[in-house]
Amino acid sequence: MNYFFYFVAAAIVLKSIITRLFPMSSAKPISLNEIQSISKTGEHNGHKLIIIDVRNPSEFSAGHVPNAHNVPVDDLQRALALPKDKFRSEYNFELPTKDDEGVVVYCQRGGRAARAAGYLAAAQYADNLYIYSPGWSEFSANPE
């Protein structure tokens, strides 16, 4: 009987930790072929998309998806609250509108991208939000 109590308590704590580390989002997954196409055309399913690499700047500098922009996941919540002109001057690109443009996020293997997708969904980007979970690990291993 005691083991059952400990199991339930551990499950509740684990769920709480996972929810905090990986906020839920409605991000739609995309494949390697799709991210390769988006990096060339800037579009997916008729929507203009911006690719955001949420790894740290040194990881980004070492290699990234072509045409991706870098906003580290630890900066993203603050960045989303910036006025458009300050965002542009700090990150060197314009954040897309919430209605007609979308965002693809990726990182090394998916963990940070999941957090970023949660932040973007909370900021009303849920309709055109995509995640490339395999991340740079898969992309860099599969040159075109």
* Residue 14 covered by a domain: no
* Residue 8 covered by a domain: no
Q: Is the separation of the CB atoms in 69 and 50 below 8 Å?
A: yes
The question of whether 63 is a catalytic residue gets the answer no
Domain containing 63 — which CATH number? 3.40.250.10
Sign of CA dihedral 27, 114, 65, 55: positive
What is the per-residue pLDDT across 18-49, written as a single tens digit (0 to 9) for each?
A: 555 555 568 999 999 999 999 999 999 888 99
Residue 89 lies in domain: 24-141
* Residue 18 covered by a domain: no
Q: Catalytic residue among 27, 50, 107, 113, which?
A: 107
* Residue 1 covered by a domain: no
Q: Which comes out higher in pLDDT, residue 101 or 6?
A: 101
Whether the pTM exceeds 0.85: the reply is: no
| Residue 127 pLDDT | 85
Considering its fold, how many domains does the chain have in total? 1
* Residue 58 covered by a domain: yes
Q: Is the separation of the CB atoms in 91 and 71 below 8 Å?
A: yes
* Residue 79 covered by a domain: yes
Q: How far apart are CA 35 and CA 41, in angstroms?
A: 10
* Residue 16 covered by a domain: no
Q: Comparing C-alpha atoms, which of 87, 72, 124, 82 is closest to residue 103?
A: 124
Q: What is the mean pLDDT of the chain?
A: 88
> If you search the block for the tokens 């900021």, which residue do you land on?
123
Give me the mean pLDDT over the 70-98 stretch: 94
What is the per-residue pLDDT across 108-129, written as a single tens digit (0 to 9) for each?
A: 999 999 999 999 998 888 888 9
